[in-house]
Amino acid sequence: MKFLVTGTTGFAGPHMINRILKGGHEVYAMARNMAKCESIVNIVGEENLKKIKFIYGDLEKLESISEIFENYTFDGVFHLGAFAHPPSSFLTPLLASQTNILGTARICDEILERMPECILMNCSTPEVYGICPGDKKIKEDMPMIPNNPYGVSKAGADMYVIERAHTAGLKTFLTRAFSHTGPRRGPNFSISSDAIQIARILHNQQEPVIKIGNMKAKRIVADVRDITDVYYLLMLEYMKGNVENGEIFHIAGNDLYEIQHYLDVMLELFDLTGKVELEIEPKFFRKVEIPVQIPDDSKVRGLLNWVPKIPIEKTLEDLVNYWLKELDNQ
């Protein structure tokens, strides 16, 4: 089968590509900066890189999306591309909405017009829920009350996708993966920011001081490779008729911890416990914090008979090692 992946040069995109290729399928990878395509070799490897068909496309330039669907056909689309950083969305809220709502809408419309049998996996986010009750699990039918422009833009995209599914017959399902990290996660997120600083300290490129934000926030963190595995398996289940059209799935890891816990694990893994100082960095705090997120992902676990395979300790070790390797290559 042929699959299109958006968000090729982002965080989850290369991992998604690996999973599709592992399944023996063809990958068409949409990228807005073709010069960056080879950068994903640090995730996909040299052999897989040769198998990928890269296509220019930009969610901000809608005509470029139309050109893709005019020239290619796909069995499914894994739509991971997005303006995807909540704090930054306060600075450019219009750009977040243009990218996430209009870009997604154009993909939906092109599928409906040109290849109505193509299945869209729309990658959503728990940010659509906003601040959630800390004493109960978040279910897929919880109202969307986002508290940042990114969450608003993704909620708008979700509503468009669901409406097109119900009234126009768009073949689709939606995923909302809760906190996840792993190799290639960039510095704009708390755990990966800590990992990059640890790598720099180990490389003697930074004093033994780690700048931190809100370490009291509580999150269940999963490995990105487990998350993209579920994306792929859900696509197959949809094709088998086991997923309702427009259905939403939560995906999450296993255990709830304060963000501080994940830093402590990394420090212990790399023999830095008690050897670094922590320094509060005000700019690392969100404008609007979400204190805790406790997802209910029982639906996807039941459907797929799935549990996360990668221990969080392995995830964090791989994350730091990824950045150590990146520093070696600079």
Is 86 inside any structural domain?
yes
Instruction: Kindly report, residue by residue over 180-189, the tens digit of the pLDDT.
Output: 999 999 998 9
What 3 state SS string does the chain have? CEEEEECCCCCCHHHHHHHHHHCCCEEEEEECCHHHHHHHHHHHHHHHHHHCEEEECECCEHHHHHHHHHHCCCCEEEECCCCCCHHHHCCCHHHHHHHHHHHHHHHHHHHHHHCCCCEEEEECCHHHHCCCCCCCCECCCCCCCCCCHHHHHHHHHHHHHHHHHHHHCCCEEEEEECCEECCCCCCCCHHHHHHHHHHHHHCCCCCCEEEECCCCCEEECEEHHHHHHHHHHHHHHHHCCCCCCCEEEEECCCCEEEHHHHHHHHHHHCCCCCCCEEEECHHHCCCCCCCECCECCHHHHHHHCCCCCCCHHHHHHHHHHHHHHHHHCC
Instruction: Kindly report, residue by residue over 57-100, the tens digit of the pLDDT.
Output: 999 999 999 999 999 999 999 999 998 888 888 899 999 999 99
Total domains in the chain come to 2
Instruction: Kindly report, residue by residue over 98-142, the tens digit of the pLDDT.
Output: 999 999 999 999 999 999 999 999 999 999 999 887 778 999 999
Instruction: Kindly report, residue by residue over 308-330, the tens digit of the pLDDT.
Output: 999 999 999 999 999 999 999 88
Instruction: Assess whether 133 and 237 both reside in one domain.
Output: yes
Model confidence at 264: pLDDT above 90: yes
Is 173 inside any structural domain?
yes
Instruction: Assess whether 68 and 209 both reside in one domain.
Output: no
Note the pTM of the prediction, 2 decimals: 0.97
Average per-residue pLDDT for the chain? 96
User: Is-contact 102 64, C-beta < 8 A?
Assistant: no
Instruction: Kindly report, residue by residue over 198-255, the tens digit of the pLDDT.
Output: 999 999 999 999 999 999 999 999 999 999 999 999 999 999 999 999 999 999 999 9
Count of CB atoms within 10 A of residue 254's CB? 12
Instruction: Assess whether 188 and 320 both reside in one domain.
Output: yes
Give the pLDDT score at 298. Answer: 98
Instruction: Kindly report, residue by residue over 10-33, the tens digit of the pLDDT.
Output: 999 999 999 999 999 999 999 999
Instruction: Assess whether 247 and 200 both reside in one domain.
Output: no
Give the pLDDT score at 287. Answer: 80
Is 300 inside any structural domain?
no
Model confidence at 301: pLDDT above 80: yes
Supply the range of the domain harboring residue 246. 2-180+222-251
